Amino acid sequence: MTLTNRDIVELTEWRRQLHRQPEISNEEEKTAQAVVAFLADTAPDKVLTGLGGHGVAAVYDSGKAGPTLLFRSELDALPIEELSGVAHSSEVPGKSHMCGHDGHTAIIASLGRQFGRERPASGRVVLMFQPAEETGNGAAGVVADPRYGEIAPDFAFSLHNLPGVPFGEVRVKPGVVNCASRGMRIVLEGKTAHSSMPETGISPMKAISELMPALPALGRATFADDDFAMVTVTHAAMGEAVFGIAPAHAEVWATLRTRRDENMADLCAAAEALVGEIAARHRLSTRWDYHEIFVASVNAPDAVEHLQRALNEEGVTHGEEALPMRASEDFGLFGHSAKSAMFFLGAGESYPALHNPDYDFPDDLIPIGSRIFMRTARNLLG
């Protein structure tokens, strides 16, 4: 049930290789190929590739009746220029693993090493290397893939490293752990005019100046409340970068966020009504669409109990502090058809934050994450 010292050295070096060659969401072709190659000598009983894009699923089957456990990691990096200064820094300009998905992938690959040597006593283990987590379409693509039925799990588990939490400690709880969110792109259209005669056109200037404070004002309750809702304006643009034209076109982008999936429809309806009313008052046409849609991640009590048992048996300190989080995570979609749970593994109280250009996944978390997942699997499957 444990990795050898050689395993840890090889997993660490492989993680750093992934770090040097990051691929952002929906572009993870070479990363997926690297996963398949790394797991080849573990002789999985089935390997599915191209799941939901560039997803990979490796199956280790006992050949005996029992539940199917899915352990998931993410393949994608971020469009961020790395400034960490580590020797294995990204070699791809403008792209880097600033969320630690390379480390999560190494942890899940470590399970392949161990199940390659000894299959579970019953049931199946599925190692799911998922694409496009950062854009929210990865889990949706995997679950919608017709081949997902071949690996449909009874339980699904995942982890995410978490700076700000003491190194090696875990945060986990039943219920909501990550919010639902989606990006709303609002387009306003008027009529251009010469900048010397703006009165002959229809400018979106007043409309966007009203929208930018009015959208956040749709938020309600405190984060501790199940009815929590939040709107964050993330981008606004108007017209062309010239002095001679009074603009006709504008865009406002906003992120809508709720703790509960069922409250998202109400928040969307309120935002749409607001946009429609302001646009009409200023004689503008408008349209909107939604992007990067994340459902809430809700940990099933049964799945959390299995993780907590493993944590106790492995002597890993754990608690519920810092949960739930406002941030979103598309792992929640696996919980719509399986008992699922995600835990958060401390990267250190003063460690650089996720999505910061100086972040780098702490390699010493690899054996800790591996032990927790392996203990969970052996407890359930033998």
Q: How confident is the model at residue 213 (pLDDT cuts 50, 70, 90)?
A: very high
* CATH label, 180-294, candidates 3.40.630.30, 3.40.1180.10, 3.30.70.360, 3.40.50.720: 3.30.70.360
Q: How confident is the model at residue 221 (pLDDT cuts 50, 70, 90)?
A: confident
Going by C-alpha positions, the residue among 61, 77, 79 that lies closest to residue 69 is 61
pLDDT of residue 224: 86
pLDDT of residue 202: 98
Is the peptide bond between 324 and the residue preceding it cis, with omega within 30 degrees of 0?
Answer: yes
Q: Give the pairing type, strands 193-194 and 155-163.
A: unpaired
Q: Express as a percent the part of the chain with pLDDT over 90.
A: 98
DSSP result, 252-285: EEEEEEESSHHHHHHHHHHHHHHHHHHHHHTT-E
pLDDT in tens, 128-156: 999 999 999 999 999 999 999 999 999 99
* CATH label, 5-178+296-381, candidates 3.30.70.141, 3.30.2090.10, 3.40.630.10, 3.40.50.720: 3.40.630.10
Please give the torsion angle defined by the CA atoms of residues 53, 58, 63 and 64, in that order, rounded to the nearest 10 degrees: -80
Give the predicted TM-score (pTM) of the model. Answer: 0.95
Q: How confident is the model at residue 294 (pLDDT cuts 50, 70, 90)?
A: very high
Angle at which helix 261-281 crosses helix 205-214, to 10 degrees, equals: 150
Rounded-to-integer distance, Cα 360 and Cα 348, Å: 12
Residue 301 half-sphere exposure toward CB, CA atoms < 13 A: 0
What H or E segment, with its residue span, contains residue 125? Answer: strand 124-130
Tell me the mean pLDDT in the region 185-194.
98
CB 74 within 8 Å of CB 133: yes
Q: Average per-residue pLDDT in the chain? A: 97
Rounded-to-integer distance, Cα 234 and Cα 278, Å: 19
Q: How confident is the model at residue 1 (pLDDT cuts 50, 70, 90)?
A: low
Q: Which residues pair with 251 in a beta bridge?
A: 187, 237
Q: How confident is the model at residue 36 (pLDDT cuts 50, 70, 90)?
A: very high
Q: Give the pairing type, strands 245-246 and 193-194.
A: antiparallel
Q: Which residues pair with 357 in a beta bridge?
A: none
The domain segmentation of the chain, as residue ranges, is 5-178+296-381, 180-294
Q: Give the pairing type, strands 124-130 and 68-74.
A: parallel
148 in helix, strand or coil? helix
Q: Express as a percent the part of the chain with pLDDT over 70.
A: 100
